[in-house]
Structure 1
Amino acid sequence: MMAQKTVLIVYAHHSAGSFNAAVRDVAVEELARQGCRVIVSDLYGMNFKASATEEDITGGMKNPELFQYGEETMHAWMEGRLTDDIITEQRKVQEADLIIFQFPLYWFSFPAIMKGWIDRVLAKGFAFSLEKMYNNGIFKDKKAILSFTTGATQTMLRPDGINGDINVVLWPLQNGTLHFCGFQVLAPQIFWSPAHCPHTVRTEMLRKWQDRLKGLWVEKPLTFAPCELFDLSFQGGFLLLPEVREEVRSNPYGITVGHHLGKPLPPDNQTRAQPPEEHNTQAACRD
């Protein structure tokens, strides 16, 4: 029998009556039904501190004359000197097989309190290093997914929509944050403009989310450019290898949204798993 799966939901919304709360509740109920252990970090409910400051470290600083948050928190993590709220969240991350980030899209990004969770919890050393990043990252055996609501309609976030391509919006969130730490990033669950939808449409959105959760463990993750395509040295500038650049020269699209190489962006690169890539799959929470 496969060991029980643990899911962490990092949740950021002010209101218990919000659509985001309903989405969270559907996930909790469905995943628990599958036999998963579900942990919810309700950031507003916890009054989680968003700002990354010297207060996150107990004991003295390595360099008190020039405070560098990343370096100081890395040493504090190694020495067990981070504050209790950070340590508690890091333990949840370590235990989780899957992290769901549930939030409303604010200014094309995470809400400030969730960004603060990312800044403080995913500390250097604990979540990433230059030696362990992207597909070789620390959390390469864990899955992550962004589940969020928008104020804009879906057409407003198309390549020809007034707000621009949602794939471009998602690139720094999914690649620059989650995949950088090694997570296998599943395609996002986007709830388009629920505040402007009738009740029947919102109900159908929740039903589709529940259906997706039933097969989430066997989904293929999004495709990102592996580190092996780059010269991973300061001398080489961490640039795409010349032979790789030559190999993709005739391709109609760039490699990814970020590595577009001056070509058209690969369609749906940040919103849909791209065949025919094959990935290891997980069974449901219990066999």
Structure 2
Amino acid sequence: MNNLIIFAHPNPNSFCKGIVDRVIKTSEENSANVKVRDLYKLGFDSILKPSDFEDLQKGKVSEDIREEQENIKWADVITFVYPVWWAAFPAILKGYIDRVFSYGFAYKHEDGQANGLLKGKKVILICTTGSPSEAYAESGMHNSMKQVADAGIFKFCGIEDVRHTFFGAVPYVSDEMRENYLMAASSVVKECLASNKSTV
């Protein structure tokens, strides 16, 4: 079992990094192979450029995109860990999706229908917010973010099993609550890996 972790937070001492560490530990304890792509540490170029479209039309892929697509191919489970900024992905992560989940790799159109090409994979999204989860849930924002990310991106690409977890008010909660969050992250990963084992 292969778990690819996509990490998008600029602070290496953030709580998100603590989540990444726990996801690594849980994955390894459940006999999964792990790779981490720390987008800020890598200096990933998140800008979709005209040359990307030109390469796509010529059937070519730039080396930085090719490397990430090979990682996606390798993965059985893709775990995204990131903070919610302005009710969405950080720009670097949105740019990663724009460039890496490209036409012909993640999806294509056949007979006027969109066909997802990443079938059989699973996605976990673990994201932190500064505001309490109750505020996001009551306003409908959690559902909106799930619709955009889960349905609009990953299910569109053929990934049916998408698990989305929000941890709210991270800067303000107690250390005990943060440990509860880490335990919850561990549980999601463990359950996902276990269900994957039963299908392969």
1:103 is matched with 82
Q: How many residues align?
A: 199
What TM-score do the two structures reach when normalised by structure 1?
Answer: 0.65
Query: RMSD value over aligned CA atoms?
Result: 2.1
User: Once the 2 structures are TM-superposed, how far is the Cα of residue 105 of structure 1 from its aligned partner?
Assistant: 0.7
Equivalents in 1 of 2:28, 2:182: separation in Å? 16
Of 3, 11, 14, which aligns to 1:15? 11
Q: What are the superposed Cα offsets for residues 163-220 of structure 1, whole Å, 9 maximum, x if unpaired?
A: x3411222011111111111123221211121110111101111222233222235xx
Equivalents in 2 of 1:155, 1:189: separation in Å? 13
Of 121, 124, 145, which aligns to 1:169? 145
1:197 is matched with 173
AA at the equivalent of 1:22: G
1:74 is matched with 56
User: Once the 2 structures are TM-superposed, how far is the Cα of residue 284 of structure 1 from its aligned partner?
Assistant: 6.6
Of 188, 193, 196, which aligns to 1:282? 196
Q: Does 1:183 align with 2:159?
A: yes
For structure 1, which runs of at least 5 residues remain unmatched after alignment? 57-68, 219-280
Deviates more, 1:81-90 or 1:42-51: 81-90
Q: What are the superposed Cα offsets for residues 246-281 of structure 1, whole Å, 9 maximum, x if unpaired?
A: xxxxxxxxxxxxxxxxxxxxxxxxxxxxxxxxxxx4
User: Once the 2 structures are TM-superposed, how far is the Cα of residue 285 of structure 1 from its aligned partner?
Assistant: 11
Q: Does 1:32 align with 2:35?
A: no
Does structure 2 retain, via aligned residues, the 8 Å contact 1:102–1:146?
A: yes
Equivalents in 2 of 1:157, 1:117: separation in Å? 25
Higher relative contact order (CA 8 A, sep 6+): 2
Higher helix fraction (1 or 2): 2
Structure with higher Rg: it is: 1
User: What fraction of aligned residue pairs are identical, expressed as a percent?
Assistant: 30
AA at the equivalent of 1:197: V
Partner of 2:82: helix, strand, or coil?
Answer: strand
Equivalents in 2 of 1:8, 1:284: separation in Å? 19
Higher strand fraction (1 or 2): 2
Partner of 2:108: helix, strand, or coil?
Answer: coil
User: Once the 2 structures are TM-superposed, how far is the Cα of residue 89 of structure 1 from its aligned partner?
Assistant: 0.2
Partner of 1:26: helix, strand, or coil?
Answer: helix
Q: Does 1:137 align with 2:108?
A: no
2:127 is matched with 148
Over 3 Å counting, the alpha-carbon distance change for 1:82 and 1:104 in structure 2 is: same
